[in-house]
Amino acid sequence: MAIRVWFSLFLCVLALLGSVSYASESEESEFVVTLDHSNFSDFIGRHKFIVVEFYASWCGHCKKLAPEYEKAAQVLSQNDPPVVLAKVDANEEQNKILASEFDIKGFPTIKILRYGGSVVQDYKGPREAEGIVSYVKKQSGPASAEIKSSEDANAVINANKITIVGVFPEFSGEMFENFTAVAERLRSDNDFAHTSDAKLLPRGDSSVSGPVVRLLKPFDELFVDIQEFDVDALAKLVEEASIPTVTVFNKDPDNHPFVIKFFNSPNAKAMLFVNFNNDLIDTFKSKYHEVAEQYKGNGISFLIGDVDASQGAFQYFGLKEDQVPLIIIQTNDGEKYLKLNVEADHIASWVTEFKDGKVKPFKKSEPIPEVNSEPVKVVVADSFQDMVFNSGKNVLIEFYAPWCGHCKQLAPILDEVAVSFEKDADVMIAKIDATANDIPQGTFEVQGYPTLYFKSASGNISLHEARFEKRGAIIKGRTRGDFEVL
């Protein structure tokens, strides 16, 4: 659950998400293989390496990806050996068991399946054709590239990325095999290489002959030497060393992979937002780095974000630019803790107060409406408990976004249904702007808009069909933005 929450937040940080309908696939599509429940296992079982997109017919992001995915499939079909790209409509009822098996929580989700599906990894590459081709080619090749020359080193090692290089006197034995096992496990996140000549590497002791694993990175101490070769322990050390003490979020695309790592971390997330053009920016960075060093390994990850690049985060948290510099900590249970207009010298003491449990959680909420007389009642975070949980009514509630096209289409239909039940004291039709109000954690899972939940008077909550009949009309609410009127 935590990873899904943070992945959703990262999408908000990068951009505001729109909601558009997903048109049917072009009949001209030939290179992306369509799979479903009837042929999936057999087809996957025949391939050592295959890429599968799980999509939904209503998903706007899927629609944007479709032509790029098809172009990439065409190019990769000419690869030696050919690489197959496939797709599954995970929103189809008959395919939902596949979506559950592969833990599909949002769309599009792309998985890399190896060795007949026995190894499953998340696709973490680009979403445009050229980038897909480049990433998939790399993923389908050896997990670790051999460095035999300076040219090889220059081709593999990028000064702006992390590269993990195993230095071995010979490429055999248990330690080398364990290194390659870790490379196979973590290859979707990092570049791996191996060499017998440390002089070819740009940093670190050039006289070592190994075995040693040297992690080269563009931040903090620039390299780390690891001499642990237990597979699980080595993988953990590599992952820990791959996260900056303070992750920088700005418009530099080289920083984005580290931002993803930050949000995928199981730790609480501390985020300092400040104008990078501020005269005191160096002071803020220095003080913040000191705090991050102090709490390193204590369950908090730290990020500093430039206001100009963080508009998505500001909308997600309901913040305003005149409140910066500000620091916000969000825990994996969804609680948020906020300090507005913070001074650099006060960051350390505030984080200490948070760790000591002395900071009260922050809840994002629109004001409770003074007048709420329309048929569809407006719910906000501060009124959610009273209106939804404690009302004693059967409540159909829509979670919407103001910019969502489907929500705008649904609005007059929801109004009509609300009018039909206006005189029924046991029924309430309601809506909440899910972009401007915090949603109670652990009860409602909203991954797209509009999402409809039905809370019965007895307290049962369901995301399944909620039906209200009037003059023969039935509104059928489904998950993540799909609805129809019969």
Angle at alpha carbon of residue 63, lines to 57 and 64, rounded to 5°: 160
DSSP 241-281: HTS-SSEEESS-GGGHHHHHHHHHSSSEEEEEEE-TTSTTH
Sort residue 117 into left (φ over 0), alpha (ψ -120 to 50) or beta.
Answer: left
* CB environment 151-161: b (16+ within 10 A), e (fewer): eebeebbeeee
Pairing label, strands 326-330, 300-306: unpaired
Nearest to 11 by CA among 19, 336, 83: 19
Residues 6+ apart with CB under 8 A from 289: 245, 246
Sort residue 8 into left (φ over 0), alpha (ψ -120 to 50) or beta.
Answer: alpha
DSSP structure class, residue 339: E
88, 407, 429, 475: the catalytic one is 407
Structure tokens at 147: 């460095």
62, 237, 241, 300: the catalytic one is 62
Structure tokens at 279: 């005269």
Query: Contact at 8 Å (CB) between 289 and 246?
Result: yes
Nearest to 151 by CA among 100, 190, 195, 189: 195
Q: Is 407 a catalytic residue?
A: yes
- Cα Rg of the chain (Å, integer): 25
Q: Is 62 a catalytic residue?
A: yes
HEC letters along 367-435: CCCCCCCCCCEECCHHHHHHHHHCCCCEEEEEEECCCCHHHHHHHHHHHHHHHHCCCCCCEEEEEEECC
Q: Is 59 a catalytic residue?
A: yes
12, 56, 59, 129: the catalytic one is 59
Half-sphere exposure of 444 (CA within 13 A, CB side): 26
Which residues are designated catalytic?
59, 62, 404, 407
